[in-house]
């Protein structure tokens, strides 16, 4: 573990710089001094970017939005792990107290053919949006708000669906997987709806379409290493992947259209 409250760190940062999608990037080394252990990892990047701007250099592009672990935008591959050395947190929730004075930190973008680098550490995760658009929805009549508990849902199903719905679409699962597979993400989305009564109407068509969309985006194939589950900031379980395998197999066997 790092140092205590209010301590300051001197760090060496190796950051991936890449002009655009087509350019081939390379690492750039930066020295940082007086980084407070109370800072988040992104705040440390803010400090670095301020410094670069003062020096008349171009700031490092990186994604972020909520900075409180709910939007899934912050995507940094830190010292060989998505979202850095701590389990169950996003990069914005990672703090500099997780590092030691004198550390060298290597920061890379998510690396996946399906997530092209836009610039530096920012990648295009539009592939996830297209997978969702292919089937990750339920068709319902809109109108007045329904009464709560109109449709009864068993507690365990509700809990499991809720667990799957916690996925924030960050893509750490893809980044962590040695095969670049997106199965954890897609299975979370498939499960969330397959477990609930509202999702039954499109259940079979949904899994067929979403898996087809996933395969089309060029993600790799799952070999059950479990790296995704271990690195997922929201604790999405491998059980979801098994469920998706079941759902897809039974849909392929029985769906007629």
Which positions lie near ligand FES, rule CB under 6 A?
64-67, 69-74, 90-92
β-strand pairing of 77-78 with 104-108: antiparallel
Contacts (CB under 8 A) with other proteins, residues 187-216: 211-212, 214-215
CB of 255 to ligand SF4, least distance (A): 25
- Name which of 243, 238, 218, 242 is nearest 228 in CA terms: 238
Residue 40: DSSP 8-state: B
Q: Does 85 bind other proteins (CB under 8 A)?
A: yes
β-strand pairing of 81-82 with 117-119: unpaired
Residues 42 and 93: their CA atoms lie apart, in Å, by 9
Contacts (CB under 8 A) with other proteins, residues 217-236: 218-227, 230-231
Q: Which does 90 bind (CB under 5 to 8 A by kind): other proteins, ligand SF4, ligand FES, none?
A: ligand FES
- With respect to other proteins, which residue has the nearer C-beta, 126 or 218? 218
Q: Does 167 bind ligand SF4 (CB under 6 A)?
A: yes
Q: Between 64 and 103, how does the x/- string for binding to ligand SF4 read (CB under 6 A)?
A: --------x-------------------------------
Residues 192 and 53: their CA atoms lie apart, in Å, by 44
* Residues whose CB falls within 8 Å of the CB of residue 74, separated by 6 or more in sequence, listed in order: 42, 62, 63, 64, 65, 67, 83, 90, 91, 92, 170
3-class DSSP state of 11 = strand
Looking at the chain, the number of H-run helices and the number of E-run strands are: 8, 7
Q: Does 50 bind other proteins (CB under 8 A)?
A: no
Q: Radius of gyration of the chain from Cα atoms? A: 21
Q: Between 172 and 211, how does the x/- string for binding to ligand SF4 read (CB under 6 A)?
A: xx----------xx--x-----------------------
- With respect to ligand SF4, which residue has the nearer C-beta, 84 or 169? 169
CB of 256 to other proteins, least distance (A): 10
CB of 65 to other proteins, least distance (A): 24
- Is the backbone of residue 151 left (phi > 0), alpha (psi -120 to 50) or beta? beta
Interacting residue ranges for ligand SF4, rule: CB under 6 A: 72, 167-173, 184-185, 188, 232-234, 236
């Amino acid at each position: 573990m790092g140092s205590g409250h209010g301590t300051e760190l001197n760090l060496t940062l190796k950051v991936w710089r890449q002009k655009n999608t087509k350019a081939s990037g390379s690492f750039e080394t930066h020295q940082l001094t007086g980084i407070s252990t109370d800072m988040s990892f992104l705040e440390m990047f803010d400090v670095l970017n301020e410094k670069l701007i003062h020096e008349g250099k171009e700031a490092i592009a990186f994604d972020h939005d909520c900075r409180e672990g709910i939007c899934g935008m912050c995507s940094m591959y830190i010292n060989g792990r998505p979202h850095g050395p701590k389990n169950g947190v996003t990069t914005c929730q990672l703090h500099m107290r997780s590092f030691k004075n004198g550390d060298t930190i290597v920061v890379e973008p998510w690396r996946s053919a399906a997530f092209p680098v836009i610039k530096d550490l920012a990648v295009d995760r539009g592939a996830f949006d297209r997978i969702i658009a292919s089937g990750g929805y339920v068709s319902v009549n809109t109108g007045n708000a329904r009464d709560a508990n109109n449709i009864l849902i068993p507690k365990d199903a509700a809990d499991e669906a809720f667990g799957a719905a916690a996925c924030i679409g960050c893509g750490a699962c893809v980044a962590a997987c040695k095969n670049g597979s997106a199965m954890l993400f897609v299975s979370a989305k498939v499960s969330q709806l397959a477990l609930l009564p509202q999702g039954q109407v499109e259940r079979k068509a949904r899994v067929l379409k979403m898996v087809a969309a996933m395969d089309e985006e060029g993600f790799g194939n799952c070999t059950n290493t479990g790296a995704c589950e271990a690195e997922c900031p929201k604790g999405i379980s491998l059980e979801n992947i098994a469920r998706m395998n079941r759902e897809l197999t039974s849909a392929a066997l029985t769906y007629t259209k």
